[in-house]
Amino acid sequence: MTKIILLGATSNISKYLIPMLLENTDTEITLFARRASQRLTDYQNNDRITLVDGDWNNISDLESAIKNQNIVYMATGHFIDANKNIVKAMNDNQVQRLIVAGGLGIYDEVAGKFGQWNAQMMGDYAGIKKAAAVIDQSKLDYTFLRMSWLYNQDGNYKYQVVPQGQPMKGTQVTRQAVAKLVTDIVLDPNLYKSESIGVVEPNTEWDKPSFY
């Protein structure tokens, strides 16, 4: 049985991802977060779920939690030191498969007026780019999700993948759709392996997201 750990299990995407994994996969799920046992009480009696109180800035927390996992999911890829810690813990424990919920713009790939708007909203990308480079330069089997601007819409699971090197024009995507994509990868771990992919909602090539 596949074992997956969600680092940052109280994130807004994880809220949709956890029930989706429970419903659509037979994975054993470890939920790792600060005060996970207090914040994720809905899952404390689920026999497929293990709650782990931990901090991904603490390498010893990561080492023990990642041991014997098959897949690691990171709720954000924006922090340099955290990324280094996770890559080290995975290498130390011979865990190869990584899925990272990251952001768009790390390759200056956001096109047109949306690109100008995005750059204005995001400001300095230097730290985010350095954090992403830690994943890029790792020898892990990673999938880095360069997600467009996120919003919630129940029942909207539509996503489109933009390969690295192609401009990103889609302005938005739902957290539900991202959860669906992660679930699809868990079901087929070879999907988008060793790739950094843009994730957008089809037919949203506007000047900015609809909710701004």
CB-CB contact of 17 with 33 (8 Å)? no
pLDDT value at position 125?
Answer: 87
Q: What is the total residue count of the chain? A: 212
128-186 per-position pLDDT tens digit:
999 999 999 999 999 999 999 999 999 999 999 999 999 999 999 999 999 999 999 99
Q: Is the pLDDT of residue 101 over 90?
A: yes
Instruction: Please give the average per-residue pLDDT across 32-46, as a whole number.
Output: 96
Residue type, 160: Q
Could you tell me which residues come within 8 angstroms of residue 119 by beta carbon, excluding any fewer than 6 positions away? 105, 110
Q: For residue 26, name the pLDDT band (cuts at 50, 70, 90).
A: very high
Three-class SS of residue 83? helix
CA distance 69 to 81: 21
Backbone angles phi, psi at 32, to 5 degrees: -110, 125
> Going by CATH, does the domain composed of 3-200 fall within 3.40.50.720?
yes
CB-CB contact of 55 with 36 (8 Å)? no
Backbone angles phi, psi at 80, to 5 degrees: -60, -55
45-99 per-position pLDDT tens digit:
999 999 999 999 999 999 999 999 999 999 999 999 999 999 999 999 999 999 9
CA distance 45 to 51: 10
Domain ranges of the chain: 3-200
Q: What residues form DSSP beta bridges with 162?
A: 198
pLDDT value at position 197?
Answer: 98
pLDDT value at position 3?
Answer: 98
Residue 206, burial from CB neighbour count under 10 angstroms (0-12, 13-18, 19+): middle
CA distance 206 to 63: 43
CB-CB contact of 89 with 59 (8 Å)? yes
pLDDT value at position 45?
Answer: 95
Instruction: Please give the average per-residue pLDDT across 185-203, as a whole number.
Output: 98
